[in-house]
Amino acid sequence: MYKVLITDPLSDQGIDKLLRAEDVEVVRKVGLTGEALLSEIATADALLVRSQTKVTEEVINQGNRLKVIARAGVGVDNIDIPAATRKGVIVVNAPDGNTISTAEHTFAMLISLARNIPQAHRTVINGEWNRKAFVGVELNQKTLSIIGFGRIGSELAKRAKAFRMNVIAFDPYLTEERAQKFGVQKASFNEAIAAGDFITVHTPLTKETRHMINHEVFDKMKDGVRILNCARGGIIDEAALYDAIVSGKVAGAALDVFEVEPPGNHPLFTLPQVICTPHLGASTIEAQENVAVDVSEEVLHILRGEPFKNAVNLPSIPAELQQKLAPYHELVEKLGHFVGQMATEAIKEITITYAGELAEGDVAPLTRMMLKAVLSHHLADINFVNAPHLAKQRGIHVLEQKSGHSHGFTQWLNIEVKTDKNQHQVSGTLLNGFGPRIIKIDQFPVDVAPKGHLLFIQHRDQPGAIGRVGTLLGSRDINIATMQVGRKQAGGQAIMILRIDKAIPNDLMNALKQMDEIQSVMEIDL
């Protein structure tokens, strides 16, 4: 009999499967803290919480039988994930349960934004009756640009299509087949930004997406565009949004999330064109029940030794295998992050090849680590456990293979990604005394230490090209720490990899791209 301890409020409907399971004893003690929690967790096989219970390292270490901690929601800030991982306890959450709720809330905000509903409501209850002040716009035949076409973005598209809106979608992993399935037009980021009468963001908040909607992007939009953010605070630069509304470029904005929550006396609140809600995307009865149902099912799967998918940490690996693979962790992570940033279009296929000592044993944990690194630049809530599931969900074919040809190295690793338009590959090894090295990029031999802020340039092999790049960077006080170049033949295609001390400003990046010899420039952070 498995003991499932529930310490936060959850409805009977949400945990119905747990309550009916013959092999599970459900113990509900809401509000447990301190010694009482430590005493109860000692005999629990699973702990199910929301956000109130603080699952600290002390609590986790006290759980001698504990196999899984389940969070009925998305965020796991109240759980010590590293401590759980060290203890071999799986932590799961419910990333899908609020999909419909968030999509519906976004659409409610969309209609409210189009028809000035909150503003009009305030005046009516204050005794005014000013119909002329709140003339809105129809959604019919307007263009909705969706930035991020995952679970929530695609559900929003269905609702917008029902209102006869034209829907354009940008997502690095959106294929033509999936776009056609939802009846939307696949577009580049700049195309989606320029075409939208309404623009809504549904991406994770990562280093790449933070302030992705900024002053420069607002300048590319239509005059009178309307903006929505019911995803994550920080995707939109709020200062830039304020300026765009004041200037008249943006006709209105609907925000459910903010960079700092609660936002306090935010300057945007002084603008009548802005409508706001206090992060209500997942705040429905159904969503709260759905997340409880999802984690209840995951708990049962884990306790019974069945497959599961929504873990947010790495399950325990046998100590012997962990010790064998540990030296390769950094190499795998670095190569994955490098090629993940190179692939800017939708990835269709990932091939990972192991050779030398790496080909002699179980490398599944390294493959999961590689997938997580590659896909983390575009997908939210990805981890070592659910990376294969998310790759399959996105239609990405993953091939793991072993080779007898180690290219002269004791161990050799190659990762190749194919997109709709091209393919990229990076090879690496471990050098005794030097650690991870990148030894080949797109068939160009190099010797690069994968660390720091890198500038990756593809160019024609012409005299003076490298010098002109160095001179341009030096003129902007950007120091080059190391440089590596690679070519196949004199005068042909070539690459250069520069490790620099700070990021490249946009105007300097544009200047580099305009040099005759240069074909592409990309910043890569490792």
Question: Minimal CA–CA distance to 370: which of 358, 409, 360, 499?
Answer: 358
Are 404 and 470 in the same domain? no
pTM, 2 dp = 0.68
CA 58, CA 126: separation in Å to the nearest integer?
54
* Residue 445 contacts residue 390 (beta carbons within 8 Å): no
Does any domain span residue 486?
A: yes
Instruction: Give dist(CA 299, CA 420) in Å, integer.
Output: 38
Q: Looking at this protein, which amino acid is placed at residue 293?
A: V
Q: Does the active-site annotation cover 261?
A: yes
CB 48 within 8 A of CB 10: yes
What pLDDT does residue 246 have? 97
308 located within any domain: no
Is 50 among the residues known to form the active site?
A: no
Domain count, the chain: 4
Of 58, 138, 216, 261, which one is the catalytic site residue? 261
Please give the residue range of the domain that contains residue 339. 317-451
Annotation says 232 is catalytic: yes
**Residues 248 and 197 grouped into a single domain:** yes
Q: Find all residues with CB under 8 Å of 18, minimum gap 6, and list them.
A: 4, 24, 26, 48, 296, 299, 300
* 250-255 vs 198-201, strand pairing mode: unpaired
Residue 124 sits in the same domain as residue 180: yes
Regarding whether 293 and 349 lie in a shared domain, the answer is no
Instruction: Classify residue 312: in a domain, yes or no.
Output: no
- Does 37 map to a domain? yes
Q: Examine the domain organization and report whether 112 and 255 are in the same domain.
A: yes
β partners of residue 143: 166
Residue 369 sits in the same domain as residue 418: yes
Do 159 and 75 lie in one domain? The reply is no
Same-domain pairing of 121 and 196: yes
Confidence (pLDDT) at 205: 83
pLDDT of residue 241: 98
> How many helices (H) and strands (E) would you count in the chain?
18, 22
Residue 35 resides in a domain: yes
211, 266, 279, 329: which is the annotated catalytic residue?
A: 279
How far from the centroid of its chain's Cα atoms is residue 470's Cα?
A: 34
Give the Å distances, CA to CA, from 54 to 32, 33, 47, 240, 290: 10, 8, 11, 37, 22
Tokens of 15: 């945990």
CATH number assigned to the domain comprising residue 248: 3.40.50.720
The per-residue pLDDT string of the chain (526 residues; one tens digit each, 9 = 90 and over) reads: 999 999 999 988 889 989 999 999 999 999 999 999 999 999 999 999 988 899 999 999 999 999 999 999 877 878 998 888 778 789 999 888 889 999 999 999 999 999 999 999 999 999 999 999 999 999 999 999 999 998 899 999 999 999 999 999 999 888 899 999 999 999 999 999 999 999 999 998 888 899 999 999 999 999 999 999 999 999 999 999 999 999 999 999 999 999 998 999 999 999 999 999 999 998 899 998 999 999 999 999 999 988 787 888 865 566 677 788 888 989 999 999 999 999 888 889 999 999 988 888 888 889 988 998 998 877 766 766 677 878 887 889 999 999 888 777 888 999 999 988 889 999 999 988 788 999 999 989 999 999 999 999 999 888 888 899 999 999 989 999 999 998 878 878 899 999 998 888 888 989 999 998 899 999 999 8
Report the CATH number at residue 436: 3.30.1330.90
Taking the C-alpha atoms of residue 326 and residue 84, their distance in angstroms, rounded to an integer, is: 19
Question: Residue 333 falls within a domain, yes or no?
Answer: yes
* pLDDT on residue 201: 97
Domain shared by 84 and 104, yes or no: no
Q: For position 316, what pLDDT does the model report? A: 52
Question: Are 446 and 458 part of one and the same domain?
Answer: no
Q: Per-residue DSSP letters for 138-175?
A: --TT-EEEEE--SHHHHHHHHHHHHTT-EEEEE-TT--
Q: Look at residues 451, 479, 509 and tell me which one is the last residue of a structural domain.
A: 451
Q: How many whole angstroms separate alpha carbon 47 and alpha carbon 35?
A: 16
- CATH number of the domain encompassing residue 479: 3.30.70.260
Beta bridge partners of 169: 146, 186
Residue 270: Cβ within 10 Å count = 10
Q: Report the Cα–Cα distance between both ends of the chain, in Å, rounded.
A: 47
Residue at 82 is within a domain: yes
User: What pLDDT does residue 77 have?
Assistant: 75
Q: Is residue 174 part of a domain?
A: yes
Task: Give the active site residue among 232, 337, 378, 499.
Answer: 232
At 275-305, the pLDDT tens digits run 999 999 988 999 989 999 999 999 999 999 8
Task: Give the residue from 94, 95, 85 showing the smallest Cα distance to 314.
Answer: 85
Tell me: do 113 and 261 sit in the same domain: yes
Same domain, 377 and 421: yes
With CA atoms as reference, report the closest residue to 396 among 361, 352, 332.
352
